């Protein structure tokens, strides 16, 4: 009987010791299991349009615009600011957003003069392959490096209100403005900005492009 009592006492002590060790390590709980905090849901995915940095739209000094002519204006393009300025001397007549050439297709820096004006210009290098009915078969192609699928022909991208700056085809024209350099080298402008600069520029108008 004594031996059984001793074994029972030893067993009880071992159980109590196990309970104490488990409680100390946080692995033993009396009563209902505590509720775990709900996992934090992942943030909703942002739309691509939300990731595009919004550019300040065209700003025009109407008082100075009344003084502007094709003979007294010049154009300045700031690559870091992604802005184009219509100037009379050192005064800003208009200030509009642009998108210059992306990496690998950087817009050339320097002093230029407008070589040509074309209100309905089309690129001879970049555009789409279209079929006989005008349907686009392949978009965003280069006439220099891409082969036209059978039954298609190259249609140059529209470059409305085009001001040519170089003999290689770099110029200023209407284009998509994502808020950062994205073109193949040309300077894209907003619709209203391109029309304004076109109207107040002439062949020979000074255009400075750089890190202003």
Q: In terms of residue numbers, what domain contains 19?
A: 1-29
Beta bridge partner(s), residue 76: 85, 208
Q: Say if residues 96 and 196 touch (Cβ distance below 8 Å).
A: yes
Indicate whether 88 belongs to any domain.
yes
Residues 16 and 67 both lie in one domain: no
Greatest mean pLDDT range, 50-54, 130-134, 142-146: 130-134
Residues 80 and 180 both lie in one domain: yes
Residue closest to 113 by CA, chosen among 212, 185, 211, 202: 202
Share of the chain above pLDDT 70, in %: 76
Residues 83 and 128 both lie in one domain: yes
Indicate whether 174 belongs to any domain.
yes
Residues 24 and 66 both lie in one domain: no
Q: Say if residues 138 and 146 touch (Cβ distance below 8 Å).
A: yes
Average pLDDT over residues 182-197: 96
Residues 69 and 11 both lie in one domain: no
Stretch among 12-16, 24-28, 35-39, 194-198 having the lowest mean pLDDT: 24-28
pTM of the model: 0.70
Of the pLDDT bands very low, low, confident and very high (cuts 50, 70, 90), residue 19 is: low
Average pLDDT over residues 162-174: 95
Of the pLDDT bands very low, low, confident and very high (cuts 50, 70, 90), residue 8 is: low
Residues 117 and 166 both lie in one domain: yes
Residues 104 and 180 both lie in one domain: yes
Total domains present in the chain: 2
Residues 25 and 62 both lie in one domain: no
Residue closest to 122 by CA, chosen among 171, 89, 167: 171
Residues 11 and 78 both lie in one domain: no
Residues 102 and 151 both lie in one domain: yes
Mean pLDDT (the chain) is: 84
Of the pLDDT bands very low, low, confident and very high (cuts 50, 70, 90), residue 135 is: confident
Indicate whether 38 belongs to any domain.
no
Residue closest to 212 by CA, chosen among 100, 44, 64: 100
pLDDT surpasses 80 at 113? yes
**What integer pLDDT is reported at residue 109 of this predicted model?**
97
Q: How far apart are CA 97 and CA 23, in angstroms?
A: 66
Stretch among 34-38, 107-111, 124-128 having the lowest mean pLDDT: 34-38
Indicate whether 23 belongs to any domain.
yes
Indicate whether 203 belongs to any domain.
yes
Average pLDDT over residues 188-196: 96
Of the pLDDT bands very low, low, confident and very high (cuts 50, 70, 90), residue 51 is: very low
Task: Select the more confidently predicted residue: 28 or 205.
Answer: 205
Of the pLDDT bands very low, low, confident and very high (cuts 50, 70, 90), residue 73 is: very high
Residues 16 and 121 both lie in one domain: no
């Amino acid at each position: 009987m004594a031996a059984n009592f001793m074994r029972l006492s030893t067993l009880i002590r071992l159980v109590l010791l196990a309970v104490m060790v488990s409680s100390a390590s946080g692995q033993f709980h009396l009563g209902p299991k505590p509720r775990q905090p709900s996992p934090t849901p992942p943030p909703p995915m942002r739309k691509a349009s939300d990731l595009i940095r919004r550019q300040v739209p065209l700003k025009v000094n109407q008082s100075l615009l009344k003084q502007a002519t094709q003979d007294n204006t010049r154009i300045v393009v700031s690559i870091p600011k992604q802005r184009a300025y219509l100037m009379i001397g050192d005064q800003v007549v208009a200030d509009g957003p642009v998108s210059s050439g992306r990496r690998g297709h950087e817009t050339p820096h320097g002093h230029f003069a407008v070589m040509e004006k074309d209100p309905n210009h089309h690129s001879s290098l970049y555009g789409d392959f279209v079929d006989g009915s005008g349907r686009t078969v392949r978009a965003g192609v280069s006439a220099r490096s891409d082969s036209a699928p059978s039954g298609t022909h190259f249609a140059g991208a529209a470059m409305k209100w085009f001001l040519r700056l170089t003999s290689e085809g770099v110029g200023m024209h209407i284009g998509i403005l994502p808020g950062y350099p994205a073109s193949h080298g040309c300077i894209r402008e907003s619709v209203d900005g391109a029309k304004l600069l076109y109207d107040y520029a002439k062949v020979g108008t000074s255009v400075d492009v750089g890190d202003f």
